[in-house]
């Protein structure tokens, strides 16, 4: 409604509109609004429930992730995961601790080839070509090829630490797949097997030692059956003959056979002593006892002691140059000299000359034993220090093949080296050099 004036007269005007449609529209809008309120309220309830479910799922996921991380972080193994191109995505603390790289240095930046031995990868590349007939240029592809084929083998590799040092590992590589079976990456699980390797090496050495001891026993039995036969036969026959010599006039014959018995017993004793000494060396039971003594006096005494075993009219000449007091194991040295001089006599003819020389200068003692005997071939010289080895030209000359082996071992125990100078039919010289400045009381 509205009002107006004309000629001072007041008028009222009314405008009337039909609002039926508007009322219907408003009613419809109100109805829609009410329905929307119901829908919004239901959706809000649904959303709140969904949000609550999501939070619960997130908690469970966090628990699972934490559990997974705990496993990876505390697995006691090096775990390295990559994407399909080889970039590292997981580098657990154990890997970081052992290999030396931090997670920030390698994750998303490096491939595991960083700490793998290039030569081992090349060998694996050759193995793959041999096994599957494939040629792979990319080093990472070489490492994961078997994992792609669902072949999971524990293999031994060498890892190189950041500082350049290396250590052996047992590594298993697996492909990581999604629910559709598509490969999304790779995971390598490795453990440091340094201690295992040491244990294996120790076991191998023990087995080798057992095998050597078995061989040693076999060879000793073979040697003993041969070397013992002659002296035992001599003892038996001489003892039988002595019994036959009952008259006084037979005394020279009795003495001859008694000498043969004494000599044979001495030979058997030497054989057994050599074997016992070898056993002690093999078991590491030889202890070096260093003392200060007069080398000249000791060698003269040794020559006097064994002079009775020399062949007819063999002559031994000994000379010394330099200081006479040395610091060595006297017992071991006596055994060495006894072996060398005995061999010189044994492999030299009657009426031959044996020379012994010692020289002490610049903290070195040089011992030389030289004969004019049958000599040793160049080929045999390569094996002289081996157990039970005897030269081809030794023939029926008595011996166990242990003497020079013991000499070399005794020399080694006293920081010495053994050299042989020999020519067939012209004689042999053994030269032993001791570094006395390395000896400790």
pLDDT in tens, 41-93: 888 888 888 888 878 877 776 666 565 666 556 667 899 999 999 999 999 98
Q: Give the chain's count of helices (H) and strands (E).
A: 12, 14
Reported confidence tier of residue 204, pLDDT bands at 50, 70, 90: confident
Residue 305 in 3-state DSSP? helix
**Weakest mean pLDDT among 267-276, 279-288, 405-414, 420-429:** 267-276
Dihedral, CA atoms, 24, 26, 29, 33, nearest 10 degrees?
A: -130
Structure tokens given for 86: 């080889």
**pTM listed for this prediction:** 0.47
Residue 249 clears pLDDT 70, i.e. is over it: no
Range 417-432 average pLDDT: 94
Model pLDDT, residue 57 = 74
Range 174-194 average pLDDT: 92
Count CA atoms within 13 Å of residue 118 on its CB side.
2
Model pLDDT, residue 391 = 79
Assigned CATH for 286-441: 3.30.565.10
Residue 289 clears pLDDT 60, i.e. is over it: yes
Q: Where are the beta strands (DSSP E) in 16-129?
A: 78-83, 88-91
Assigned CATH for 75-192: 3.30.450.20
Domain edges within the chain:
14-71, 75-192, 229-282, 286-441
Model pLDDT, residue 47 = 82
Reported confidence tier of residue 169, pLDDT bands at 50, 70, 90: very high
Specify the length of the chain in residues: 441
Model pLDDT, residue 232 = 66
Q: What is the β-pairing status of strands 353-361 and 315-322? A: parallel
Model pLDDT, residue 243 = 67
Report the percent of the chain where pLDDT is more than 90. Answer: 42
């Amino acid at each position: 409604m509205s009002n107006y004036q004309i000629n001072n007269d007041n008028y009222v005007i009314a405008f009337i509109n039909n609002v039926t449609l508007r009322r219907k529209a408003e009613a419809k809008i109100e109805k829609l609004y009410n329905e929307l309120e119901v829908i919004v309220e239901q959706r809000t309830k649904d959303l709140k429930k969904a949000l609550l479910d999501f939070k619960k799922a997130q908690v469970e996921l966090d628990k699972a992730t934490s559990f997974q991380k705990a496993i990876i972080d505390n697995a006691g193994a090096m775990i390295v995961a990559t994407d399909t191109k080889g970039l590292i995505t997981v580098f657990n603390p154990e890997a970081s601790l052992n290999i030396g790289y931090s997670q920030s240095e390698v994750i998303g930046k490096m491939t595991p080839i960083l700490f793998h031995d290039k030569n081992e990868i090349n060998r694996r590349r050759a193995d793959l070509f041999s096994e599957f007939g494939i040629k792979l240029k990319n080093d990472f592809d070489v490492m994961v090829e078997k994992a792609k084929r669902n072949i999971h083998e524990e293999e031994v590799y060498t890892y190189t630490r950041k500082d350049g040092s290396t250590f052996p590992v047992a590594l298993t590589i697996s492909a990581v797949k999604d629910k559709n079976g598509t490969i999304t990456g790779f995971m390598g699980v490795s453990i440091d097997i340094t201690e295992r390797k040491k244990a294996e090496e120790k076991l191998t050495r023990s087995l080798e030692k057992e095998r050597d001891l078995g061989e040693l026993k076999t060879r000793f039995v073979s040697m003993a059956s041969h070397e013992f036969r002659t002296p035992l036969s001599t003892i038996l026959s001489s003892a039988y003959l002595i019994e036959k010599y009952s008259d006084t006039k037979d005394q020279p014959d009795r003495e001859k056979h008694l000498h043969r018995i004494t000599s044979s017993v001495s030979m058997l004793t030497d054989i057994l002593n050599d074997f016992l000494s070898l056993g002690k060396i093999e078991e590491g039971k030889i202890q070096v006892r260093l003392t200060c003594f007069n080398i000249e006096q000791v060698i003269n005494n040794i020559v006097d002691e064994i002079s009775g075993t020399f062949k007819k009219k063999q002559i031994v000449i000994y000379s010394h140059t330099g200081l006479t007091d040395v610091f060595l194991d006297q017992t071991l040295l006596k055994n060495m000299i006894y072996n060398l001089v005995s061999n010189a006599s044994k492999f030299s003819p009657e009426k031959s000359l044996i020379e012994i020389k010692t020289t002490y200068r610049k903290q070195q003692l040089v011992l030389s034993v030289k004969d004019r005997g049958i000599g040793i071939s160049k080929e045999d010289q390569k094996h002289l220090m081996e157990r039970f080895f005897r030269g081809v030209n030794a023939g029926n000359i008595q011996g166990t093949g242990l003497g020079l082996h013991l000499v070399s071992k005794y020399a080694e125990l006293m920081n010495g080296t053994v050299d042989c100078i020999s020519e067939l039919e012209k004689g042999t010289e053994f030269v032993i050099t001791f570094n006395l400045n390395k000896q400790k009381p």
